């Protein structure tokens, strides 16, 4: 039994959903509403003391950190590969993904925004401007890097891989906070290509069962 503990709007959970779908691994979902701090309750902290989503239970293991989870899935189910076979290509893809997962995403994470609002005392507009700023700066650099000749239909050549798993969710967050993704044409065209694939479509936030629960309760 494979269980993904996540949240429909969590971009790190979104990455793992895409990877599971690309690998054809069926899974159950357990949702934790970040706005209601359900991921900070004792039940989830017992699974993942970091209190961050997602956690994947698979093969009797409890895996955390989306990068590590995606790597694990690629190791146990090599087809289709999520990394290029050549070492320079692999380093490029890992670097693109890290620039999103390690440098852009954490600055706009819910816990950071909560601290800005509740402790530093910034208002909602200032918090949104903070999120836009770091995505904008990150996407400007990413757009330049993606014009290095190794990009194809996808971030690396013409098959989807790890960099795409990180890129697509980050553009959904970007739009949510008001970043116009079309200002980054290479990024926008890669995302459009990804969204033609069922693995990405079925992973979309709106397609998750907890998105429907949220609609019913609001
Ligand atoms: N580096 C972690 C990041 C995990 C993370 O920040 N998850 C977010 C959801 S996308 C979260 O749990 N946020 C809750 C919070 O910040 O309080 C990963 O890639 O799994």
Domain regions of the chain by residue span: 3-80, 87-200
Q: Does domain 3-80 have CATH number 3.40.30.10?
A: yes
H or E element: which one contains 126? helix 124-145
pLDDT (0 to 100) of residue 213:
76
Residue whose C-alpha is closest to residue 118's, from 37, 12, 217, 31: 37
Q: Is the CB of 37 under 6 A from ligand 1?
A: no
Please tell me whether residue 6 adopts helix, strand or coil conformation: strand
pLDDT (0 to 100) of residue 214:
59
**What pTM did the predictor assign?**
0.96
Q: Is the CB of 34 under 6 A from ligand 1?
A: yes
Which residues of the chain carry a pLDDT beneath 70?
214-218
Please tell me whether residue 28 adopts helix, strand or coil conformation: strand
Q: How many CB atoms lie within 10 A of CB 187?
A: 22
pLDDT (0 to 100) of residue 218:
34
Return the CATH fold of 87-200: Glutathione S-transferase Yfyf (Class Pi); Chain A, domain 2 (1.20.1050)
For ligand 1, atom 19, the nearest C-alpha belongs to: 66
Q: How many CB atoms lie within 10 A of CB 32?
A: 24
Distance 168 CA to ligand 1 centre (A): 16
Q: Is the CB of 111 under 6 A from ligand 1?
A: yes
* Structure-token pair, residue 116: 């800005």
């Amino acid at each position: 039994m494979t269980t993904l503990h996540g949240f429909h709007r969590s971009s790190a959970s979104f990455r793992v959903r895409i990877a599971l779908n690309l690998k054809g691994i069926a899974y159950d979902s357990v949702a934790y509403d970040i706005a209601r701090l359900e991921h900070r309750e004792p039940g989830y902290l017992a699974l993942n003391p970091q209190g961050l989503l997602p956690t994947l239970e698979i093969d009797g293991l409890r895996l955390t950190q989306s990068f590590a989870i995606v790597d694990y899935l690629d190791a146990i189910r090599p087809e289709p590969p999520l990394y290029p076979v050549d070492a320079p290509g692999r380093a490029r893809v890992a670097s693109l993904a890290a620039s999103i997962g390690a440098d852009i995403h954490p600055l706009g994470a819910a816990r950071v925004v909560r601290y800005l609002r509740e402790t530093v005392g910034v208002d909602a507009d200032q918090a949104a401007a903070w999120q836009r700023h770091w995505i904008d700066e990150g996407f400007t650099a990413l757009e330049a890097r993606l014009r290095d000749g190794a990009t194809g239909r996808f971030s690396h050549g013409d098959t989807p891989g790890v960099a795409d798993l990180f890129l697509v969710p980050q553009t959904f967050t970007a739009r949510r906070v008001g970043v116009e993704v079309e200002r980054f044409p290479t990024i926008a065209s890669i995302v459009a290509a990804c969204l033609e694939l069922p693995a990405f479509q079925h992973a979309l936030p709106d397609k998750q069962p907890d998105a429907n629960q949220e609609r019913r309760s609001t």
